[in-house]
Every structure is written in structure tokens, then in C-alpha cells.
Amino acid sequence: MARPRLLDLFCGAGGAAVGYDRAGFDVVGVDIAPQPHYPFEFHRADALDWADALTTGLLRFDAVHASPPCQAFSVTRATHHKRYPDLLTPTLKRFGLLAVPWVIENVPGAPLPSPVVMCGAAFGCVADDVDGAPLVLRRHRLFASNVLVLVPPCACAEYRHRGVRVGGVYGGGPENRRIANRALGTFRGGYTPAKAVAAELIGCPTMTKAELAQAIPPAYTEHIGRQLLEVV
């Protein structure tokens, strides 16, 4: 029996794709930048052009995911030295015309309609740090969909209460980490783990450090994908 097909727009290196594959989808990725580590069928193209083809019926998929670049809404945008375009708004406009199940992901602060928040701690994204102590992933991401998506609540505070360290995997150097943590009210010196630990936390062992800084943990989209399958 053929598996349903999911289109992964603004796919990056494929963290979301791995989760959807595990859930039971055949995944096709599209990104304007080359993605040599993308693990499935990949097309280098403008994701919005593919979204347009979906709305006109030129392309047919059973479900669609999009992760438009988050820099326009990131808490670290004050550190950017250039203005980033808002690709979320045109993506939402196009997805509003789709009849198939869709999911759009972005960072906290992005203007998504009625999003749910997913948290690494809630999915047991834990690894032993270089000193052998456990470290829990703090990576909050927003997900909006045209189908009902249920997610477990954030568990960061629970782990901290138990004395377990909670850390992120950030890009842009220590200054961006410091500003991000302060903006989130969680300033702890900007700690981020070594690459091997970060790869285990995210669940993407083949990614580079830069790719890990942007990746969606596959555990998130595997959870969402299983719910999408119920309506596909």
C-alpha cells in the first residue's frame, strides 16, 4: 500500500522531514538553498512557487508542511545586521486556499493563527552532556494547522525543579544566545552544548552545527504526522 505524500516547504536540512517519514509519509522537500544533507527527494526552488502550484492544482500532495524563515520574528532580530523578508504572511495566504491538511511552523512571537507550542522537554529530548550530567532540550516552536493538533505541555520547569539542566541549541554565537535568553526571561549565560550533544538532543546525528541550530526535532513532527494521518 502506497504511503501518503507530504510536501515539505522551506525544508532546510530535513529535521521536520525525518519526523513525518517516521509517522508514515513519503516526503518531498523544497528549499531555495542547496540542502546536501536532506535525507529524501529534494528540489532546489522557491517554496512559494510550489505553494502556488498547489493552490492551482498543478501539484498534488496529501499534506503540506512549511517552515518559513524565522528571522523576521526571532527574539534575536535586534542583533541582525540586515532586514529579513516576512515569508510567513504569504505562506499563510496560500495555505488558506488549500483543501489538504497543512502545518506551518515558526518561532514564538510569529503571528500564527491559534498555534500550539511544542517543547523538547515534553518529548524527552535528553542527552548526557560532556560532563556526563543529563541535559534537556529547550526548543519551543509554534505550530498552526487546519486540523486539530494536540500536544503535551511544556516540561522545562518540571525538569528544572528536579535539578536537571535545560539548555538550547543556538546559532549566531554567544551574543545572540545571551539576548535570546534574556528576551525569554531565562538568562543563564547563553549555554549551548557541544555539537555531538546537540545532535543527540535534536535527534539529527548527520547535521552540521549550523543545521542543528535551525532544525525542528523530528520528535515534534512525528507526533504531528501521526495525527495528520488520521485525516488524510
Long-range contacts of 128-132 (CB under 8 A, 24+ apart): 128/197, 129/165, 129/193, 129/194, 129/197, 130/193, 130/194, 130/197
Full pLDDT tens readout for the chain, 232 residues: 789 999 999 999 999 999 999 999 999 999 999 999 999 999 999 999 999 999 999 999 999 999 999 765 554 454 445 667 899 999 999 999 999 999 999 999 999 999 999 999 999 999 999 999 999 999 999 999 999 999 999 999 999 999 999 988 876 444 444 444 444 444 444 567 899 999 999 999 999 999 999 999 999 999 999 999 999 9
Q: Pick the closest to residue 27 from 80, 65, 1, 58 (CA basis).
A: 65
Domain ranges of the chain: 5-229
* Fold classified for 5-229: Rossmann fold (3.40.50)
